[in-house]
Amino acid sequence: MDANKKKAMQGRIKKTLEALERNNMNAAYVNTDEEALKLVMSLVPEGSYTATGGSMTLRETGIMDYLESKTDLHKEYRDAYNASYYLASANAVTEHGELYEVDGRSNRISAMYFGPEKVIVVAGINKLVPDLRSAVVRVKTEAAPANCIRLCCDTPCAKTGECASPAFDENHLGALGCKSEERICCGYAVFAQQRIKGRITVILVGEDHGY
């Protein structure tokens, strides 16, 4: 990300980290991918039982290479519930300290909700949004269309670049959508205040990553 844009975001980043901490999540900001990888390596020891949600961010930061080469990474979705460490990204992180995640099969959000002892979320600062409404719109207008194109899903948004339904409406909070069998917006999850303090760690990286 451009250095001036990054500098201009420092206030929002600080506000978000403080809000995440108030919601009982550990929160850290790192400037570079290298620092993100180093932090993950310090949190996830070699040989650990790990699992992941599909994530371009983990791949782009080099974290997936570390998990694949140095940890006991389980790729079966059901194995994720017994992992010591579950790593994923977020579709959006709000300045109120919430994580917003949207899944096609809900394997990622279900593991993040319950199961793994520790959950580590790595997100580029392009995922930062003011509030949940912006998070919903972000998914329907940016993340889902781009991911459908990347995954070659036969969905309306892969063809037109926008959701077949309104990105947000008061009655459905963005849960309307297409009837495609390959729809990727099926489970919608908000992670707000956590009962188990420190189970979730959020690492914000000062770069653009994923969609």
- Tell me which residues touch ligand SF4 (CB under 6 A): 140, 144, 148, 155-157, 163-164, 177-178, 180, 183-185
Which of 126/155 has CB closer to ligand SF4?
Answer: 155
Nearer to ligand SF4, 118 or 183 (CB): 183
Residue 148, both tokens: 């459908």
User: Least separation, in Å, of the C-beta of 183 and ligand SF4?
Assistant: 4
d(CA 176, CA 162): 13
Q: Quick check: helix, strand or coil at residue 102?
A: strand
Cβ proximity to ligand SF4: between 25 and 144 the closer is 144
Task: Write down the least CB distance from residue 160 to ligand SF4, Å.
Answer: 8
Residue number, 180 or 194, with CB nearest to ligand SF4:
180
CB of 5 to ligand SF4, least distance (A): 27
Kindly give the residue spans of alpha helices, DSSP state H, lying in 1-127.
Answer: 3-8, 10-22, 33-43, 56-60, 63-70, 107-113
Q: In what order do the strands lie in the sheet with 26-30?
A: 26-30, 200-205, 118-124, 85-88, 49-52, 72-74
Q: Cβ distance 181 to 100 under 8 Å? A: no
Shortest-Cβ-distance residue relative to ligand SF4: 177
Local structure of 124: helix, strand or coil: strand
Q: Minimum Å distance from CB 145 to ligand SF4?
A: 6
